[in-house]
């Protein structure tokens, strides 16, 4: 896997965290940098840990599915991307509060990083450099989450759905690219 692909996967995975960060920023009367950093740390750390867990799960399954790994990567990334696209059209307003306590943030961090677990499984099948991958994903998510809080505080709901839509499209395109490369089309 190339660095650029990892960067795009990181951006795609960070879109859920970005959307929630926008909501967190929206609920703050005044931008609180300390809260923004706490939010970004939770999201960044969990977005890095989940693919690592998925990677180790994938390594244990790799010998059973090597011949179909590209299909698994395509299906998982397309499923995750499809769900993100579907959610981008959902008009339901997320529950808003600016709390950054452990209970609130752990739930949000897990919820926004479940898809990264599945991506970690595909990393194992693709023999990706997992340390580089999770480092990039964590840093990208951290940065995007800080931006999300700032944007949410300044502009509100305008960008949330567009961020999820973009993230979903990116993940589907990467899954399609993996499939087409393994089929010898690209």
Q: What is the pLDDT along the chain (186 residues), one digit of tens a residue?
A: 789 999 999 999 998 888 888 878 877 888 889 999 999 999 999 999 999 999 999 888 766 766 676 787 788 778 877 887 887 787 665 555 678 889 889 988 988 888 888 899 889 888 899 999 999 999 999 999 999 999 988 876 566 677 778 777 877 887 788 788 888 887
Using alpha carbons, select from 111, 125, 6 the residue that is nearest to residue 75: 125
Six-digit token pair at 5? Answer: 């692909």
Using alpha carbons, select from 45, 147, 29 the residue that is nearest to residue 96: 29
pTM: 0.73
Six-digit token pair at 165? Answer: 């839509």
Q: Which residue has the tokens 């479940």?
A: 114
Contact present, 124 and 54 (Cβ < 8 Å): yes
């Amino acid at each position: 896997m190339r660095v650029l692909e990892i960067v795009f996967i990181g951006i795609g995975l960070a879109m859920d965290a970005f959307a929630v960060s926008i909501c967190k920023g929206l609920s703050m009367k005044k931008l609180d940098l300390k809260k923004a950093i706490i939010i970004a740390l939770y999201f960044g750390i969990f977005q890095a840990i989940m693919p690592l867990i998925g990677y180790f799960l994938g390594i244990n399954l790799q010998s059973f599915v090597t011949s179909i790994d590209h299909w698994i990567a395509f299906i998982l990334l397309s499923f995750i991307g499809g769900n993100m696209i579907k959610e981008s059209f959902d008009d339901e307003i997320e529950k808003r509060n600016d709390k950054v306590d452990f209970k609130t943030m752990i739930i949000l961090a897990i919820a926004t990083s479940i898809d990264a677990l599945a991506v970690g499984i595909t990393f194992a099948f693709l023999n990706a450099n997992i340390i580089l991958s999770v480092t990039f994903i964590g840093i990208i998510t951290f940065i995007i989450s800080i931006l999300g809080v700032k944007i949410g505080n300044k502009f509100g709901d305008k960008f949330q759905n567009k961020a999820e839509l973009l993230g979903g499209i990116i993940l589907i395109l990467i899954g399609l690219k993996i499939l087409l490369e393994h089929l010898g089309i690209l």
